[in-house]
Chain A
Amino acid sequence: MGEQAQLLPGTLDLLILKAVSLGPLHGYGALLRIEQISGKALLVEQGALYPALFRLVRQGLLKASWGTSENNRRAKFYELTAAGKRRLRQEAEDWKRLVAAMTSVLGAEPEEA
């Protein structure tokens, strides 16, 4: 395993929304997809995923339904709702703005007098 970054607080929800936006997923699938699209750079504690999924369902951003997994097991699949799509767009933009701002702050050179 290479360098793995700790998740910033509050970013897990955004990651899940993004992962699920690429297609309905069950919990383990979401974990794998986050690992995959982050190039294994982000580490998600396995159990902590589920409370977050439940929270997003309660907030109406995800909906859950039982289906059959790739190896023919019953599994609970999550997909984005319309509100979830809006939220993802919004948060992604916020995040980009924040990153841009942080980058420019951290990239500033000391002004030589």
Chain B
Amino acid sequence: MRFAAYLKSAGENLFGRSRADYELHEELAQHIRARAEVLRTSGLSDAEAERRARIEFGSTEKFKEECREERGGSWLETFWSDLRFGLRMLRKNPGFTVIAIFTIALGIGANTAVFSAMNTVLLRSLPLPHPEQLVHLILPNNQPAGAWNTGDGDTSFSEPVFEELRKQKEAFSDLMAYLPLSESKAAVRLDDEPEEAEVDMVSGNFFSGLGVRFARGQGFTMDDELRHTQVAVVSYSYWKARLAGNPGAVGRTIYVKSVPFTVIGVSGDGFFGLEPGFSTDIWIPLQNREDLNPWGNPPTINTLYGSPKWWCIKLIGRLQPGITKAQAMAKLDPVFQRAALIGLGTLDPKAPKPLLALRDAKGIEGADSVYDQPIKILMAMVGLVLAIACGNVAMLLVARNAARQREFSLRMTLGAGRRRILVQLLAESLLPVVSGGLLGWIFARVSSEALAAWSGMEVPFSLDENVLLFTLLISVACAVAFGVAPLRSAMRAPSGLGVKSANLGGNSERKGRWAGRLVIAGQMCLCLMLLVGAGLLVRSLRRYETLPLGLRPDGVLVFGTSPMSARTDQEKYVFYEKLLDRMRAVPGVESATVVENRPGSGWSNNNTFAIDGATPNGSFKEVGMRANDVGPDFFHVLGIPILLGREISDADCRQHLKVAVVNETLTKRFFPKGDPLGHMIGGEKPGEMSTIIGVAADSKYTRVGEEPIPMVYFNYSAGGSYSTVGSISDMHVELHTTGDPEALVPSVRAVLKELDPNVPMQKPMTQRAQFDESYSEARLFARLAMFFGIIAILLVATGLYGTLAYRVSKRTPEIGVRMAMGAQRVQVLRMVLRESLVITGIAVLVGLPLAFGGAQLMRSMLFGVVPGDCASFAGAVVGITLVVLVSSLIPARRAASVDPMVALRYE
């Protein structure tokens, strides 16, 4: 009943408005007529009765407004009319509208893009059912001493540990194993053309345990694992990209390392596998073939099923429903402690105990430790940009609404309620914020794709509901801030004043100016912090770029190979010798060699080698060494100077001589007396040692940012660093070219195909590009920070310019008087500039300590630069001062060019 009455009232109000308004008018008029008749009967004249009746009634317009507000749905109606009014106001000021919308879009877009990166890397759950039940198994203490590791020391487990843990059914409903087939990508062939793809071998319950949906076909069964079936599942994106999304893909054959696999399924869209930051293309069941050994390992050393000491399996578990991580740990730990000993015998009691831990499968596995802080700092930086942007829009709104004070007080005099004006301001701010938010969302979509590509992530930064919610939240915060900011000045407008005079109270004007100065100073403060951060990151990047590598990275082409046809050491050696011969014959190739770990790729062999039969004692930091297995001419091809002796030659390789070259740091640390030539290095037994034949200058191995570490280069054809037979790995080929290395790729590819059609050219690139990749995060952060810095500068400059220009235009008469009284143009110029410079000075004084504090938080992102780097701070201060000068100069010059006569006449 009551609701029906409301609806009827609202319906009449909203849909029969003109009639309802007419009736309201009629009703009140009728009242006044009736009253006037009564007054007439008491003896007043017609006109007087009418007048008295109106006076007694009061303001009809005010009561009409109150009646309208009492009608149902009035808030909707007033909001709608406010919205239309706001739209009209925005159309009337297109310049203002465009600037406001773009400023907001920039702020919201940048925040959304960076938040989407943060979401993907740190927060997002796997796109699987009940992702909260999924946990990665990790080893906080790394693998136990004596275990062979894979390079992913804190996430790889041995096969016995996996088998024992998966029997523990009380903790996990499923425990899934996954292993990459290769350290990077594996050779795959669909038709004739060999290519590379990310291939993981997984346990039989991998898809069922994770709950992966399938676009086509199905996943594996336990039977597939136990019988090592040659079947494969391809990812949705691989299916789309390489199999043209053909439904007939299920059933066709894919050659993985030249072993045929039948495709039985295509995983659902959005599942990129579990490899951190990469998308897995193909999954196969766990294999026990030696040519499909995981991690690209030569089977002569370790195999998945034959080497209990080899900790190579990554594990992800699905907790039983209702079981907490702590409860699961209580069940798992005793099993783990027992199983960890299998293959290792007893553990060194002094060594740290192996520890098992569970980590929520959130974001990108392993990426949180690397990206956690940088992403938070980026988030803070874009937050600052947004704050500056908001400052500008708020100032714009305040300035515009100050000019509208007459309008507000007029409306209040005519009976508009304060609430009504608040709603109107909110409606007006909603429009630019909503359109700015939409534009920002589009901007974020584009830029997050670029951001993902830039940062080398294969997984797209998804704009999911988390990100949408974030964007909505900051948009609403902006809308409220912009609605409320001008409210004060609107409310201050005393009713009645606006009608009488255009003159504004001097007092409120002064207050407004102070608030404006405060906002500008705050913006400069934030801008200064951003500039300091950007400066530090850019200087770190410069350090990376200019750091001598100890080798000549230009003109060197590198690519990976994996000769499937060659199994034994001898076959492999023959393959690589033939390959080098052919490569050297390619026009444009000056020299060629092979190397096990590509310099600059992050991979290295770490070990402590015995010198003359004795292994040095101490921690890895004190006595640790790194090694690489290299082919003939290695130092010549890469331009690493030989300081003493000679390098490994073709003859050494042909005769499989156990020879090695060491670097300067190793010589200094282990041969303090000088000459290491002729000494032995490698294992402790005679057959495992190599003779040192040369000393090379230090050069960068894994990445640009590393410190020099003692280093041994072994002859790859004579056992290399493994010191055993059967240990030639898949090698990378290095070519020193006379011309542009990239231009050689097609002819090199053709030669390679001629040699073996199953061998793709893996990741061909210049050695320079490879080293550049080793600090790609630093480059990304520096570029982003620079980008944010530039946006901040532009925002501050436009904000300052706008405010000063507005103020100068208001002060024109005053300046006119001053000049008429004899003030010089220079004095006027100085007057305007002085104000901005004083504001800048205060902002710098407040901002410097803040920036200094912020810089301390960035310490882990800096390279070769201290957080208190003077150049960065000085640069930021100079930068902001320049911006202030430039953006103040134009309004200042306009003030100085005021013609006193014109100004005074205007007054």
Contacts and interface: CB of A to CB of B under 8 A. Distances in A.
Interface of A: 26-28, 45-48, 50-52, 54-55, 57-60, 63, 66, 69, 71, 73-76, 81-83
Shortest 10 CB-CB distances between A and B: which pairs?
A60-B5, A54-B70, A47-B63, A51-B66, A47-B58, A60-B2, A28-B34, A55-B70, A54-B67, A58-B9
Interface string B35-74: 1010000000000000000001111101100110111100
A5 to B, nearest CB: 18
Interface stretch (B23-31, B314-322, B536-544, B771-779): B23-31
Nearest to B31: A28
Interface in B62-96: 62-63, 66-67, 69-72
Nearest to A75: B30
A28 B35 contact: yes
B30 A47 contact: no
A57 B11 CA distance: 13
A106 B119 CA distance: 68
A76 B23 contact: yes
B37 A46 contact: no
A74 B30 contact: yes
A56 B6 CA distance: 10
Most buried by B among A26, A54, A81: A54
B415 to A, nearest CB: 11
Contact of A83 (B2, B9, B71): B2
B37 A71 contact: yes
B5 A59 contact: yes
B1 A83 contact: yes
Contacts of B62: 47
A58 B27 contact: no
Contact of A50 (B35, B56, B63): B63
Contact of A60 (B1, B27, B28, B57): B1
B419 to A, nearest CB: 15
A73 B63 CA distance: 22
B33 interface: yes
B4 interface: yes
Nearest to A82: B1
For the residues of A in contact with B, the DSSP-based class is mixed
A50 B58 contact: no
B414 to A, nearest CB: 15
Nearest to B6: A58
Contact of B9 (A52, A57, A76): A57
Given A47-B58, A59-B5, A83-B2, A28 B30 contact: yes
A52 to B, nearest CB: 8
Interface in B10-30: 23, 26-28, 30
Interface in B467-526: none
A54 B30 CA distance: 16
A50 B37 contact: no
A66 B26 CA distance: 11
B28 A50 contact: yes
A46 B35 CA distance: 10
Contacts of A52: 70
Contact of B31 (A27, A45, A58, A63): A27
A46 B34 CA distance: 12
B440 to A, nearest CB: 40
Contact of A58 (B28, B59, B72): B72
B447 to A, nearest CB: 50
Contacts of A48: 58, 63
Most buried by B among A52, A58, A83: A58
Contact of A51 (B57, B60, B67): B67
Contacts of A71: 34, 37
B2 A51 contact: no
Nearest to A73: B30
A46 B27 contact: no
Contacts of B33: 73
B31 A46 contact: yes
A63 B1 CA distance: 12
B327 to A, nearest CB: 57
Nearest to A57: B9
A45 B28 CA distance: 13
Contacts of B27: 26-27, 50, 75-76
A111 to B, nearest CB: 48
A39 B828 CA distance: 74
25 contacts: A26-B27, A26-B30, A26-B34, A28-B31, A28-B34, A28-B35, A46-B31, A46-B58, A47-B58, A48-B58, A50-B28, A50-B66, A50-B67, A51-B63, A51-B66, A51-B67, A58-B6, A58-B72, A60-B1, A71-B34, A75-B27, A76-B26, A81-B1, A81-B5, A83-B1
